[in-house]
Chains A and B, each alone.
Chain A
Amino acid sequence: MGELTANPIEFISQFTGWWTLFSLLLTLCVTPIRYLFSLPVVFPLRRTFGLITFVYATIHFLTWLVLDQFFDWTEIALDLSKRPFIYIGFVAFAGLFILALTSTNRAKVVLGSLRWRRLHKSIYLIAILGVTHFFILVKRDVWEPLMFAAVLFVLLGYRLFLQLSNGRR
Chain B
Amino acid sequence: MKNSFKSNIPSSEITSRTLFESRRRWMQGGVASLAAMAISPASAKPRDERNFPVKFESKKSEFSTGEELTTYSDVTRYNNFYEFGTGKEDPFEQAHRLKTDGWTIQIIGEVHRPQRLDIDQLLRLAPLQERIYRLRCVEAWSMVIPWIGFPLSKLLDAVRPTGNARYVEFISLHDPEQMPGQRGASLDWPYKEGLRLDEAMNPLTLLTLGLYGEVLPNQNGAPVRIVVPWKYGFKSAKSIVTIKLTEKKPATSWNLANPREYGFYSNVNPHVSHPRWSQRKERRIGEFLKRDTEMFNGYSKWVAGLYRDLDLSKHY
Residue ranges of A at the interface with B (Cβ–Cβ < 8 Å)? 2, 5-7, 9-10, 67, 69-70, 72, 75, 78-79, 82-85, 136-137, 139-141, 143
Contact A82 B187 (CB under 8 A): no
Q: What residues of chain A lie closer than 8 Å to B283, measured between beta carbons?
A: 7, 9
- Which 7 A-B pairs rank lowest in CB-CB distance, beginning with the nearest? A141-B86, A6-B78, A6-B74, A140-B186, A6-B285, A78-B278, A7-B141
Known contacts A70-B290, A140-B187; A10 and B278 CB within 8 A of each other: no
Contact B78 A137 (CB under 8 A): no
Q: What residues of chain A lie closer than 8 Å to B184, measured between beta carbons?
A: 143
6 residue pairs from A and B, CB less than 8 Å apart? A6-B78, A6-B286, A7-B141, A72-B281, A83-B275, A140-B187
Q: What residues of chain A lie closer than 8 Å to B139, measured between beta carbons?
A: 139
Alpha-carbon distance between A139 and B80 when the two chains are bound, in angstroms:
11
Alpha-carbon distance between A143 and B276 when the two chains are bound, in angstroms:
19
Q: Which of B78, B281, B285, B289 is in CB contact (< 8 Å) with A75?
A: B281
Interface string of B8-37 (1 = CB under 8 A from A): 000000000000000000000000000000
Tell me the interface secondary structure of chain B in the complex. Answer: loop
Residue ranges of B at the interface with A (Cβ–Cβ < 8 Å)? 73-74, 77-78, 82, 86-89, 139, 141, 184, 186-187, 257, 273, 275-278, 280-281, 283, 285-286, 288-290
Contact B78 A7 (CB under 8 A): yes
Contact B74 A82 (CB under 8 A): no
Contact B86 A139 (CB under 8 A): yes
Contact B257 A140 (CB under 8 A): yes
Q: Which of A2, A5, A84, A140 is in CB contact (< 8 Å) with B86?
A: A140
Contact A5 B89 (CB under 8 A): yes
A140 to chain B, nearest CB (A): 4
Alpha-carbon distance between A5 and B73 when the two chains are bound, in angstroms:
10
Contact B273 A78 (CB under 8 A): yes
Contact B77 A75 (CB under 8 A): no
Alpha-carbon distance between A87 and B123 when the two chains are bound, in angstroms:
51
Alpha-carbon distance between A83 and B77 when the two chains are bound, in angstroms:
29
Alpha-carbon distance between A75 and B86 when the two chains are bound, in angstroms:
27
Q: What residues of chain A lie closer than 8 Å to B289, measured between beta carbons?
A: 70
Q: What residues of chain B lie closer than 8 Å to A83, measured between beta carbons?
A: 275-278
Contact A5 B88 (CB under 8 A): yes
- Chain A CB count within 10 A is highest, among B87, B186, B278, B286, for B278
Q: In this complex, what residue of B is CB-closest to A86? A: B276
Alpha-carbon distance between A91 and B176 when the two chains are bound, in angstroms:
41
Contact B286 A75 (CB under 8 A): no
Alpha-carbon distance between A136 and B277 when the two chains are bound, in angstroms:
12
Alpha-carbon distance between A137 and B280 when the two chains are bound, in angstroms:
18
Q: In this complex, what residue of A is CB-closest to B77? A: A6
Contact A5 B281 (CB under 8 A): no
Alpha-carbon distance between A131 and B73 when the two chains are bound, in angstroms:
33
